[in-house]
Structure 1
Amino acid sequence: MSVRRLAEDSVQPAAFAFNRENSVWAKQAIKKYPKGREQSAVIPLLMRAQEQDGWVTKAAIEHVATMLDMPMIRVLEVATFYTQFQLKPVGTRAHIQICGTTPCMLRGAEDLKRVCQHKIHHDPFHTNEAGTLSWEEVECLGACVNAPMVMVFKDTYEDLTPERLEEIIDAFEAGNGASVPVGPQVDRHFSAPQGELTSLNEGNGSAKPKRAAKSGGSEAANIPPSNAARPVTHDAATSPAIKSPSNVKATKASEGAASNPAAKAPAVARTIKNPPIVDGSLSEKPPVQAIEAPAKVVSLDDKNRPAAIEKPAVADDLKLISGVGPKIEVILHELGIYTYAQVAAWKKVEREWVDSYLNFKGRIERDDWVKQAKALAKGGEAEYIRVFGKKPR
């Protein structure tokens, strides 16, 4: 993908702000994400800024970064990566996106490009003299069966001819784009076949039997399928000819049991974790679901249990430690653990005891609770950010 940069400063507006309607919408969009994850709204906010001004300006990027408490470079990375964001001014009345992927190319997309070059500008991402129209070539727009096609803003116009595209461009240039019907521009309902049905058009869709071709000057009689006149003399449910391999095995087993009445029922299979393999394939012995050993019981009176304290007037927010959620915090409180300093002072045996008690399977070590707690105890979130380069949680 080519490098994408912001437009020159000479065309950049001095400031950006959402209008009243979009400002209300943006605040509601941010609230859709969990606390601490509001930055996930960066793409919807950038799209709304583009819809408001027609393109994403430097001022809009700065404004979104401020709203989401994000470094500007992070918002800039998103805006320059996704090609849906226009980084330069586009036509105020229409920016035409021509699909140039294989189906549209085979159906005349090159002719549509020549129309845009003639009526708008020879090069993409350039407006006409009035600044009302612009165009670009894009990847698949998702209506291959209706190729070739273009998209203007959020609407698609399909089954185009060069002449029809010229009419659509003239309509948008005159400010009458809303009057152009969206979708197929031919006698077609969405993606249905053009014109009348060419198959299954005899009412119930049943095909009439065809007569065989004439041979030697005489018409041959209708020949039924080779197995049509063959009477069925066996039970279809038990016929070996149509049994699945598993049914054949079951039949052989039942026949063997009938011939040997003294055969005993098979013993109960022992628990195994993996089925045995014979010559690269599973053996006949069916695997039995493994039963894991029960978790080790941890005693609350164990000497390795961390020391508990009385609940202080103001307890630390243990949820700031990555790996501690609301439920885990309640359990830690029940164990008498309320402060970062307690967690920071845990020795290895104490960490192992808590890990076993929570059945965390080593997560305390992997997430390094002690290092996180030391940073939080020393300087709160500011020290955590200095140590880990990000906000806690």
Structure 2
Amino acid sequence: MAKKLLLVGGGHSHALVLKHWRRHPLAAVDLTLISDVSQTPYSGMLPGHVAGFYSHAESHIDLPRLCASAGVNFGEDKAIAIDPERNLLTTQKRGQWRFDYLSLDIGSTPFIDDIVGAEYGIPAKPVPQFLAAWQALLQNIDQHRPEKFTLAIAGGGAGGVELAFNVQARLAKFFPAIELDVQIWQRGATLLSRHSAQGRKLIEKLLAKRNITVLLNRPVTTIEREFSPDDNQLTCYKLESNDHWRSVNAVFLVTQASPAPWLAQSGLSLDSRGFISVKPTLQSYSHPHIFAAGDVATMVDEPRPKAGVFAVRQGKPLFDNLCRFGLGKDLKPFIPQSQYLSLLGTGDGKAIALWGPWASYCQCWWRLKDYIDRQFMEQF
């Protein structure tokens, strides 16, 4: 009798598992992918999509089509609970799914629990909701054509900085007559604290050149609606941080990553932030028949930032170990690289390259980033 394997979530690691499964399926395993979206975004292209370089189709993977090509079942549903002892997954639509073993790649969302009025902000994830809000915002600006538009981005990590560059470029291109004020509100005393001093200096210089305001030691703590929209004006909000208030037209939330709340009741071994603790084999420390990859997983022995590059690198090792587990073979450890090249698109046909202490900014890095991202998407 075939074993039942569930892939929960359509993240980068699982997309790569499906690609390899298409070439090397296991007859002894019945594989099903469950995802709350049918079109899963590729994080490497999302800033470029915001800036207008890529269409929705170019920056998203068609999961039902990928599953069909791999002979894999697809269910569009959202996971809300798991019982690893009884091997049951609970979802919103179908209810319960039985499995013999399972892999989670459900990503993360910005942590907003400490922001009063967070419902007035626009979280960068889940991506489909963010992109819908972004398109609505563009239409709203186009309709009202204000003299000035102020956008705040809460979060000064790589995601917040790259989003700031690409949002500013798109708005400046589409609405040249509007005075733009793009702001980054950073909780800490520095931007991109994981990167080198040279890299931070380069980025700060570019932000200043693009008139993107950086507010350090300014965590967004409160969002209040100042007044409702009418026929002549855009919605306006007030942001508060350390008793400082500013009025803005929109707030993007790109704060620290947080896991799905239901994991806290899963019985799985979690790290201090609530992410799934996994071994180098990508197995749960508490339940070896549960695997996890991407943002939702924390490699306890080899901790790394929550970045798409690691989810991509985990894809093939995850596939190999899922196959080995299904066949009763020994699993192999995955050791991620300690250094990696970060390429941040700046929305102007150029990109910033960051590698260890080294940093550079030019058109050639955008060409490299575009090539890498298109090559990745061509696999699917």
* TM surpasses 0.5: no
User: Which protein is richer in helix relative to its size?
Assistant: 1
Using the size of structure 2 for normalisation, the TM-score is: 0.20
Counting strand residues as a fraction of each chain, which structure ranks higher? 2
Q: Which has the higher contact order (CA 8 A, sep 6+)?
A: 2
When normalised by structure 1's length, the TM-score is 0.19
Larger radius of gyration: 1
